[in-house]
Amino acid sequence: MRFFAVAFAASALVLGACGGGEKTEGAATTTDSAATATPGADAGMAGAAAGGAAAGSATAAAVTGTTHEVRMIGDEKGYRFEPANLTVKAGDGVKFLMVSGGPHNVAFDEASIPAAGKDQLAANIPNAASPLSTQMYMNPNEEVVISFANVAAGTYNYVCTPHQAMGMKGAITVQ
């Protein structure tokens, strides 16, 4: 009987993680058009206004440099971010593109990221589902651009919450 109780609790936890993509009022339903319209646009500000407000006093900062692409993939080779590890300059942006095998999200590990960058990174995530985590992306070609403008130098580890146990993780190093 205990086994079934534990199994039930574990199932509820997994389903809760997969269902974390509920939209808040004003959140985008497919792609975040404010974040993808122009790489230099103040995409983060629109996200903060639509429910992605960060803890602390940081305000969203627009991408001022290059926008890099990371693909979110789930297929016969497994679940992964391509590339999994990326080095960017302060001011660059990272576009996370949902390719296959969703739902996917990007959830930064609060315990491992530089404390000086936490509030700013949270402010720079448009339409965040929770601090340091994007909403869930279900369909191919959905995307989110996260600005690393005004973010402290260091390594920012992240995972896809529904596929973390399957090794879907990555790191962005900000120079």
Model confidence pLDDT, tens digit, residues 72-131 = 999 999 999 999 999 999 999 999 999 999 999 999 999 999 999 999 999 999 999 999
Domain ranges of the chain: 2-174
Topology classification of domain 2-174: Immunoglobulin-like (2.60.40)
58 pLDDT tier (thresholds 50, 70, 90): confident
3-state SS, 21-88, equals CCCCCCCCCCCCHHHHCCCCCCHHHHHHHHHHCCCCCCCCCCCCCCEEEEEEEEECCEEEEECCEEEE
Encoded tokens for 49: 């206004």
What's the pLDDT score for residue 56?
Answer: 63
Model confidence pLDDT, tens digit, residues 130-163 = 999 999 999 999 999 999 999 999 999 999 999 9
